[in-house]
Amino acid sequence: MKPKIDFGSTTAVNIIWEKVKERVSPKAFWGGVCALVFAVGFVMNLRHNVSNALDDVERLKLRLDEVKASLASESAALTAEREKSAEMGRHIEDLGTEVDRLREWRDHVQGVAETSPHARRRH
């Protein structure tokens, strides 16, 4: 004969225990306990994974902010370089204009120098 577990005759645990013993075989009971343990383990693992994913999201947000700041500084540097390049282009155009003017002047002076002194007109 199996010893009877006495949880107290009027407790809810005793009433439930008696009903479970009457209607559920030990094999089904332990199968249910195992299923419950697996379900709790699955939920706890899922909760842990969600927590890790949230941490990863926070880290990625911080990294994204760092990358945005880096891109903003690089963009500012590139804008400054473009402005310098445009300024250099304007200087080169000015130098080209000055070279053309000097070339015309040299050609004029050379032309005057190649003519005979008596054929020169006074300006």
Kindly report the pTM of this predicted structure: 0.47
Q: Tell me the per-residue pLDDT of 10-61, one tens digit each, with 9 for 90 and over.
A: 677 777 777 878 888 888 888 999 999 999 999 999 999 999 999 999 999 9
Predicted local distance difference test score (pLDDT) of residue 1: 55
Q: What kind and span of H or E run contains 55?
A: helix 26-114
The closest of 31, 54, 51 to 43, measured between CA atoms, is 51
Q: Which domain holds residue 45?
A: 25-113
Is 1 contained in some domain?
no
Tell whether 3 is covered by a domain: no
Please indicate, yes or no, if residue 79 is contained in any of the structural domains: yes
Work out the pLDDT band at 8, boundaries 50, 70, 90. low
Give the span between the Cα atoms of 84 and 53, in whole angstroms.
46
Tell me if 10 is assigned to some domain: no
Q: How many domains does the chain have?
A: 1
